[in-house]
Amino acid sequence: MIDYIIIGAGLAGCVLAQNIANKLDKKVLIIEKRNHIGGNCFDYKDENNILIHKYGPHLFHTDNREVVEYLSQFTSWDIYNHEVLAYIDGKKVSIPFNFNTLYEVFPESKAKALEDKLLQNYEYNLKIPILELKKSEDKDLAFLADYIYDKVFVNYTAKQWGMKPEEMDTAVTARVPVFIGRDNRYFNDNYQMMPTNGYTKMIENMLNHPNIKIMINTDFKEVCSLENEQFYLFDSKFDGKVIYTGQIDELFDYKFGELPYRSVDMKFETVEKEFYQEKATVNYPNDYEFTRITEFKHIHPTKSDKTTILKEYPQEYKIGKNTPYYPIFTATNQENYNRYLEYSKEFKNLVLVGRLAEYKYYDMDDIIKRALEVFDKEIYEQN
Ligand code: UDP
């Protein structure tokens, strides 16, 4: 007997499975298309004995203590503060753009003048989205905003999304704000750390419960079907809750058209030296076809005379050809998503959670928080 079906073994699905199994003592079946659990957080030790993130760098950072306490049941942590450099005009400089970057890219007197100007206009430790700074009427600040926009954002965003920063939801570029201060870290959150033995191990621990069964290598359409608002599991009516974490357009057979996603071709390389670059990630806004290079040894220190790097080549998502990583945030796409969302409300026992099902740019901590809330409000309270 199965009480809940969960489609997708990423963070959203696994957090819900763990809660249902432990707090409700109900039986869960997780159906996963890939040959592994963990969704895009999946990590494993490669041939160089380096723990790599198969679907691109996943750095855990949060201000949410509840999320940390929840995950700490399944892993211990290693402190890790992510730092990123950007390759600009032949130099690697600190990103997010901050006071240190000013002195790295401009002569000292000019950097000092711009620093003073920023401090006259903004509070210390403030974060300003580039599209906000661009509205500045002060001529020095407008110069600086144009410089940062041109050197850091416009070309990177063209590669990553095929769009200009202002064509997208402002929240996207606001993820990497200009920082009024000297903190070179990519994130400012209170908690910045990595699960000691990786995400896959942490998620395996979450799922280690007799109430949880997992089918990997299984497209949910091989075992489930949907007819006249009714779910079927192996041809029998299924009246329990179905928690769906995949693409919402795929669930409903693209009835309102395909929702666009951005994909990335992840190209790993072994380099025959101890370290390849100074920091875990170097962004290449203006050069090469890839957006960034990540060297995993900096994230999970490993003794080895070789190193593994990852180059990310963004590309259009094509059904069946590559992986949908990012929803694309334009007003039109959001409207199309809303049509699916409205339609989904006709299915009383369907719960949608996750980056793909909700068409949202969730970070890992956001999705854990969201899954815990869904459990409390839509599952626990209704049980
Ligand atoms: N971005 C940019 N230049 C950079 C870093 C980020 O233009 O050097 C923009 C780009 O549009 C990117 C967004 O900011 O998609 C968010 O960056 P983040 O590093 O948070 O992306 P993620 O790690 O989620 O791919």
User: Does the structure show a pLDDT above 90 at 329?
Assistant: no
Please say whether the beta carbons of 192 and 81 come within 8 A: yes
How far apart CA 43 and CA 85 sit, in angstroms, is 23
Domain match, 248 and 291 both: no
* Residue-wise pLDDT tens digits, 115-171: 999 999 999 999 999 999 999 999 999 999 999 999 999 999 999 999 999 999 999
How far apart CA 261 and CA 318 sit, in angstroms, is 9
* Residue-wise pLDDT tens digits, 196-209: 999 999 999 999 99
Q: Is ligand 1 within 6 A of the CB of residue 85? A: no
Neighbours of 138 (CB within 10 A): 13
The pLDDT value recorded for residue 221 is: 94
Show the tokens assigned to 77. 């942590």
Domain match, 88 and 161 both: yes
The pLDDT value recorded for residue 382 is: 85
Nearest one of 256, 262, 263, 260 to 338, comparing CA atoms: 256
Residue 137 placed within a domain: yes
Confidence of residue 179 (pLDDT cuts 50, 70, 90): very high
Helix, strand and coil in the chain, % to nearest 5: 35, 25, 40
The pLDDT value recorded for residue 292 is: 98
> Mean pLDDT score of the chain, rounded to an integer?
97
Q: Is ligand 1 within 6 A of the CB of residue 84? A: no
Number of domains in the chain: 3
Domain match, 340 and 278 both: no
pTM of the model: 0.97
Q: Is ligand 1 within 6 A of the CB of residue 168? A: no
Domain match, 244 and 306 both: no
Q: Is ligand 1 within 6 A of the CB of residue 129? A: no
Domain match, 273 and 254 both: no
Residue 368 placed within a domain: yes
Domain match, 296 and 278 both: yes
Site of tokens 């203006």: 286
Cα 259 to ligand 1 centre (Å)? 21
Structural domain containing residue 158: 84-179
Confidence of residue 227 (pLDDT cuts 50, 70, 90): confident
Domain match, 115 and 220 both: no
- The values of phi and psi at residue 345, to 5°, are -70, -15
Domain match, 285 and 371 both: no
Strand 28-31 to 212-215 pairing: parallel
Four-CA torsion 36, 41, 47, 49, nearest 10 degrees: -120
Residue that is last in its domain, among 161, 179, 197: 179
Show the tokens assigned to 154. 């416009």
Nearest one of 173, 167, 104 to 133, comparing CA atoms: 173
User: Does the structure show a pLDDT above 90 at 228?
Assistant: no
Distance of CA 19 to the CA centre of its chain: 22
Domain match, 245 and 336 both: yes
Confidence of residue 8 (pLDDT cuts 50, 70, 90): very high
Domain match, 104 and 90 both: yes
* Residue-wise pLDDT tens digits, 300-311: 999 999 999 999
Residue 123 placed within a domain: yes
Q: Which helix (H) or strand (E) holds 243?
A: strand 241-244
* Strands of the 230-233 sheet, one edge to the other: 224-227, 230-233, 236-238
Average pLDDT for 322-326: 95
Residue 72 placed within a domain: no
The pLDDT value recorded for residue 229 is: 84
User: Does the structure show a pLDDT above 90 at 33?
Assistant: yes
Domain match, 374 and 251 both: yes
Confidence of residue 383 (pLDDT cuts 50, 70, 90): confident
Coil/strand/helix, residue 14: helix
User: Does the structure show a pLDDT above 90 at 324?
Assistant: yes
* Residue-wise pLDDT tens digits, 336-367: 999 999 999 999 899 999 999 999 999 999 99
Cα 179 to ligand 1 centre (Å)? 15
Residue 148 placed within a domain: yes
Q: Is ligand 1 within 6 A of the CB of residue 328? A: no
Residue 71 placed within a domain: no
Cα 212 to ligand 1 centre (Å)? 36
User: Does the structure show a pLDDT above 90 at 372?
Assistant: yes
Q: What is the CATH number of the domain that holds 220?
A: 3.40.50.720
Residue 32 placed within a domain: yes
Residue that is last in its domain, among 293, 316, 339: 316
Q: Which atom of ligand 1 is nearest to the CA of 86?
A: 8
The pLDDT value recorded for residue 364 is: 98
Domain match, 115 and 171 both: yes
Best of 153, 169, 363 to mutate for ligand 1, by most ligand atoms within 8 A of CB?
Answer: 153
